[in-house]
Structure 1
Amino acid sequence: MNAADYQSFADAWESRATIRTRPRRVLENDDKLIYPLGRQPLVLGETFLRECPQLRDFALVQTLYKFINDVVIFETEIVDKTARNIAKNRFDVTFPFACRYDAMTVVVDEDYHALVAMDFMQQTIAMTGIGPIELPGEIELSRAIPAAVALAPQHLRGAVELICVAIAENTVTGDVAAFAKDDTIKQSIKGLMADHLLDEGRHSGFWSRMVRIYWHTASEGDRHCIAQILPVFIGHYLTNDIQRSFDLRLIDALPINDRVQQSLRDEVSGVAFPINRHHPLVANIVQFFRSSSLLDSPCVQSALRDYLI
């Protein structure tokens, strides 16, 4: 895709963006789950089910808070930064005005998603009376993007940042879609996820097109250099360290005896997906590489061979 071929989605944003079209989502006081069981393996473990099943809702509420915290960090510190720099023509890669206008709508959307997430946290605290335990100050991307960018020569750092953010936005879209379809959770949370998905579908396409425009202009040498950095980024992005640390902190907050706590710690420490083609997020990542045209390049195919099915 050439920059000249880019078509703005301004009209679609005006008519469909959630900040323009969706009412406030209000948390229901019903018997539905506040967070999907399958997304917090701790509460499905043998020890938890045997020793403290009555603490399930406390654990799920805390995991919701961590999810909300992750959303706020992702939207305001990761995506917002890159989109804002593109919009204000301060990015290392130069894009035409139509791209920069759309980038500003991404900024508006993402900050609004963060606001809605914070509103939901306030509603949950008010309804349940459960305040959050200490939440992480960063997400995996907070480490993965700087690690990848640091490997790039100065003239490619913006391009690497762009591709990393695009990978993350496309991965999040698939993850949110699965969340939005879960019938076990409260309708307001499903609605929140559906709203988010409506915007993220537009965003994922935007980032893919930005990468296609850049990749079309990149030299073969620059493509080779970036290709070698991609596995490093993926390795950092798919680690489980921050989630594991949070789960251990959550276990420490449970009113249970030391023996049960240690058993839960042992179970949590053994839960981690392998960072290879079998990781549940890799299919989304590979799909991005296809849609953005990166996977058309032999150097990218070679660099990602461990992740390709």
Structure 2
Amino acid sequence: MNAANYRSFADDWERRATIRTRPRRLLEDDTKFIFPLCRQPLVLTATFLEHCPQWRDFVLVQSFYKFINDVVIFETEIVDKTARNIAKNRFSPAFPLACRYDAMTVMVDEDYHALVALDFLQQAVKMTGIEPLDLPGQIELSRALPAAQAQVPAHLHDAVELICVAIAENTVTHDVAAFSRDDSVKSSIRGLMADHLFDEGRHARFWTQLVHIYWQSASPEDRDSIAQALPIFLAYYLTNDLQKSFDLHLIEHLDISADTRLALRNEIEALAFPITHQHPLIGNIMGLLQHSGVLQTASVAQALSDYLPVSGGLA
């Protein structure tokens, strides 16, 4: 694909974007979870189940607040910034007007997702009476993006940002899809996730197209420079350090014995999620790099060889 073959989704956005088609969703006061148990390892530890299961709902509510906070940071501080610069022709490389128009719709969608997320946070506080603890000021992408950009010359910072945001948007789509299918969670929250997914599928295709357009025009030298930045990005992006820090912070706010607190800390510290080709998001990331043409570049395949299955990823 080159810029002349770019397929705009403007008409689809006009007909189907959730900001145009979805009513406000209201949080139900029922017995279903506000956050999936499987996404909060703390409540599944042996120590928690044996010694403080009464704190489960508090932990899940706080985990929901963190999720909302992460969404707001991701949508308004990172994706919005990249899309805005593309839309306003402040990005290098510059993209055609059709791409820039679509980037503007991405901005609108992402800010709307953040607005809806904050609405749910307010509803949850009112319903549960549980105020949010201090929430992280960063997400993994906040650290991963500058770490990757630091590996390349300044003229490639925008290109690295484009590729990293494209990776993040594609993995968010995967993550949100899993959340939306969890029947243990309140219907309104699954609906929120389904709405988000509806827009993110369109966004994922948009970013894939833009990466494809850029990569076709990039020089071999620039491609090779970017290749060396991608493993750095993945190492920061796929870490669970921020989640672990949040869980340790949560433990400090539980009214439990010192022995139980220490045991919980030890169990959380022991959790390990190795970043290999078996990581649940790696397949999704490699799919994006494959479909956009990036992974077909030899230097990229070599740089990411640790993340590819033994059989390779260039078929």
TM-score strictly above 0.5: yes
Distance in 1 separating the partners of 2:269 and 2:292: 36
Offset at 1:176? 0.5
Q: Does 1:83 align with 2:72?
A: no
What code does the residue aligned with 1:84 have?
Answer: R
Q: Residues 76-100 of structure 1: CA distance to partner in whole angstroms, max 9, x if unpaired?
A: 0010000000000011211000000
2:193 aligned with 1:193: yes
TM-score normalised per structure 1 = 0.99
Q: Which residue of 2 aligns with 1:164?
A: 164
After superposition, give the CA deviation of every residue in 1:47-68 in whole Å (9 maximum; x if it has no partner).
Answer: 0000011111110000000000
Q: Which residue type is aligned with residue 189 of structure 2?
A: I
1:63 matches 2:54: no
SS across alignment from 1:48:
helix
CA deviation string 1:238-281 (max 9, x = no partner): 11111111000100011111111110000001112101112111
Equivalent-residue separation in structure 2 for 1:193 and 1:151 (angstroms): 35
TM-score scaled by structure 2?
A: 0.97
Query: Which residue identity lines up with residue 263 of structure 1 in the other structure?
Result: A
Letter in 1 for 2:223: R
Q: Deviations over 1:17-42 (max 9, x none)?
A: 00000011100000111100000011
Equivalence for 1:302: 302
Give the letter for the 2:107 counterpart: V
Match of 1:96 in 2: 96
Q: Deviations over 1:118-149 (max 9, x none)?
A: 00000000000001111100001111101111
Q: Look up the equivalent residue of 2:265 and give its one-letter code.
A: R
Matched, 1:269 2:307: no
Q: What SS class does the counterpart of residue 116 from structure 1 fall into? A: helix
Worse overlay, 279-288 or 229-238: 279-288
Query: Is 2:181 the counterpart of 1:148?
Result: no
Assess if the C-alpha contact under 8 Å between 2:151 and 2:228 holds in 1. no
Write the letter of the residue equivalent to 2:74: F
Q: Determine helix, strand or coil for the equivalent of 1:253.
A: coil
Separation in structure 2 between the aligned mates of residue 54 and residue 283 of structure 1, nearest angstrom: 37
Aligned to 1:249: 249
Matching residue of 2:226: 226
Residue 179 of structure 1 aligns with an amino acid whose one-letter code is F
Counterpart CA distance in 2 for 1:287 and 1:104 is 25
Secondary structure of the 1:294 match is coil
Alpha-carbon distance in structure 2 between the residues aligned to 1:71 and 1:271: 24
Between 1:202-211 and 1:146-155, the stretch displaced more is 146-155
Moved more, 116-125 or 143-152: 143-152
Query: Aligned AA for 2:31?
Result: D
Alignment of 1:31-46 (within 5 A): 31-46=31-46
Provide the alpha-carbon RMSD of the alignment.
0.7
Separation (CA, whole Å) in 2 of partners of 1:272 and 1:130: 30
Aligned position for 2:215:
215
Partner of 2:136: 136
Distance in 2, matches of 1:271 and 1:3, equals: 45
**2:290 paired with 1:290:** yes
Which structure 1 residue ranges, 4+ long, deviate > 2 Å from structure 2? none
Contact 2:80 2:106 (8 Å CA) reproduced: yes
CA distance in 2, matches of 1:253, 1:233: 33
Counterpart of 1:69, as a letter, is N
- Alpha-carbon distance in structure 1 between the residues aligned to 2:91 and 2:201: 23
User: % of aligned pairs identical?
Assistant: 67
Q: Distance in 1 between matches of 2:255 and 2:134?
A: 16
Q: Matches of 1:237 and 1:192 in 2, distance apart? A: 24
Q: Structure 2: how far apart are the matches of 1:253 and 1:182?
A: 27
The count of residues paired between Structure 1 and Structure 2 equals 309
Letter matched to residue 261 of structure 2: Q
